[in-house]
Structure 1
Amino acid sequence: MSSLSLRLVLTDGKLVSDNFHDWYRTLRIVLMHDKLIDMIDKPPMPEPSNNDDAETVAAYKKYLEDFKSTKCLILASLSYELQRQHEDMDPTNIIAHLKKMYGAQSRTPRYQLSKTLFRSLLNVNAQVGPHILKMISLMEQLKKLGCKLGKELSQDLILQSPPDLFSPFIVNFNMNKMHCDLHEMLNMLIDYQNQIDSSKN
C-alpha cells in the first residue's frame, strides 16, 4: 500500500472522541510506514551548536523536516476542534495530551463489556450458537481496549455460561484438555446441542 493510501485511511478515521484507541493504532501504523514513528516515541533532538560538524547539522535539518511532517499528519487526522487545541504543540506533547484526554475513557466501556461477558448465561431453551458468538464478540472488543483474557480463561467463561444440560460436555472437555480455538469450541457446542435435541425427539 502506498504512503498516500495509508494516510487516507487515517484521514477517514479522524479522532473525534470515542475512537481514540483505533485512531492511535492507525496513526502508529502510518508513522511506521513513513519511518516517522521515532517522532512520537523518542525525545526531541537537541538543536546543534556552532561547534557541531556538518553531518550533525544535516541530521538536525532532516529531523526538522520529519518533525513538521509528523505534526501535520497528526493534526490532519484530528477533528477541527482538536486541531485548534493542539496546533501549537509538538508531536510528542500532542500525543501525551490526547492520551490524558481520551486514554482513560476506555475504563468505562471496558467495565461494561466485562460485566456483560462475565454475567453471560445461556437460557435452557435458547440456541448456543448466537450466545457463544456474542461472548466471542465481547472478548474481541475487550482485546481492542487492551484487556486480553487469554485462551484458557476465555474457554472457562464460555463453559460456565451454558445450563446443566451441557455438564457432560464440560466434563469431557476439561478431562481431555482439548486444544482448540473459540470458534472450534463453538462448533463443538452446537453439535452437542443438536445431539441433545435429537435425543429428545
Structure 2
Amino acid sequence: MSYLSLHGILETGKLNGANYDDWFRNLRIVLMHEKLIDIIDKSVVTALASSNDVKASKTYERYLEQCNITKCIILASMSFQLQRQHQDMKPPTIIEHLKKMYGGQSGTTRYQLSMFLFKSSMTVNDQVGPYVLKMNDLIEQLKKLGFTIGKELSQDLIL
C-alpha cells in the first residue's frame, strides 16, 4: 500500500464556491488515489444490512465505512460554512448539491474566456510568441471546460 498522501491538494484549495471546478477535479484525484471514487460515481449498494447473507452484510458494512471516509474527505476540503450545510448528507448527495450550487460557474467562465478570445487582437508593438502562447492558453482553458474549438477556427482566431 502506498503511503503517498494527496490530501494536501485539498487542504490548500478548500472549496469556497468560486473554485468549484478546480476543487472537484482535485477531489476526484484524491478519491481515485484512495480507491473511493466509486462512492460518488456509482449508485448506492443495494445490499441490506439486515440480510442473512454474511458476505452481503460485510460488503454493505464496507460500503458504509467507505462512505464515511469519503464524506470526511469531502467535508474536510470545504470552508466551514459549506461543512455545516452538508454535514448531514451522504457523499453522492453532497456532490449533487454542490453541482447545482456551483456547477453553472463553468458556463460563465466559458463565456468570459470565449469573449476574451474572440476580442483579442495583436497590437503593433506586441511580440508574436507571447501572443500565440496567450491565445493557445485560452483555447486550452476552453477545452477543459468542454468547449472544443476546431483546428481551423483556432488558427483563424490566432491569425
Give the TM-score, by structure 1 length: 0.72
Provide the C-alpha distance between the structure 2 equivalents of 1:80 and 1:133, rounded to a whole number of angstroms. Answer: 38
Check 1:5–1:50 CA distance in 2 against 1; reply closer, same or farther (3 A cut): closer
**Residue by residue, what CA displacement relative to the aligned partner does 1:25-47 show, whole Å, maximum 9, x if unpaired?**
11111111111111001122235
1:10 lines up with 2:30 in the alignment: no
Q: Which has the larger radius of gyration?
A: 1
Amino acid at match of 1:135: M
The total of aligned residue pairs comes to 158
The residue that corresponds to 2:83 in the other structure is 83
Give unpaired runs (5+ residues) of structure 1.
160-201
Matches within 5 A, 1:16-55: 16-48=16-48, 50-55=50-55
Give the TM-score, by structure 2 length: 0.89
Matches within 5 A, 1:9-158: 9-48=9-48, 50-158=50-158
**Residue by residue, what CA displacement relative to the aligned partner does 1:136-181 show, whole Å, maximum 9, x if unpaired?**
222232233332324443223212xxxxxxxxxxxxxxxxxxxxxx
Provide the C-alpha distance between the structure 2 equivalents of 1:23 and 1:58, rounded to a whole number of angstroms. Answer: 32
| Comparing 8-17 and 130-139, the one that deviates more | 130-139
Alpha carbons 1:70, 1:91 under 8 Å: kept: yes
Amino acid at match of 1:14: K
Provide the C-alpha distance between the structure 1 equivalents of 2:19 and 2:96, rounded to a whole number of angstroms. Answer: 16
Alpha carbons 1:110, 1:145 under 8 Å: kept: yes
The alignment yields a C-alpha RMSD, in angstroms, of 1.8
Provide the C-alpha distance between the structure 1 equivalents of 2:31 and 2:52, rounded to a whole number of angstroms. Answer: 29
SS at match of 1:5: coil
Provide the C-alpha distance between the structure 2 equivalents of 1:61 and 1:51, rounded to a whole number of angstroms. Answer: 11
The residue that corresponds to 1:189 in the other structure is none
Provide the C-alpha distance between the structure 2 equivalents of 1:133 and 1:51, rounded to a whole number of angstroms. Answer: 60
Check 1:3–1:119 CA distance in 2 against 1; reply closer, same or farther (3 A cut): farther
Provide the C-alpha distance between the structure 1 equivalents of 2:150 and 2:23, rounded to a whole number of angstroms. Answer: 24
- Choose between structure 1 and 2: higher helix proportion: 1
Provide the C-alpha distance between the structure 1 equivalents of 2:49 and 2:34, rounded to a whole number of angstroms. Answer: 28
Provide the C-alpha distance between the structure 2 equivalents of 1:134 and 1:51, rounded to a whole number of angstroms. Answer: 59
Provide the C-alpha distance between the structure 1 equivalents of 2:75 and 2:93, rounded to a whole number of angstroms. Answer: 12
Check 1:143–1:18 CA distance in 2 against 1; reply closer, same or farther (3 A cut): farther
User: What is the CA-CA distance between 1:52 and the residue it aligns to?
Assistant: 3.5
Identity value in percent: 59
SS at match of 2:147: coil
Alpha carbons 1:3, 1:33 under 8 Å: kept: no
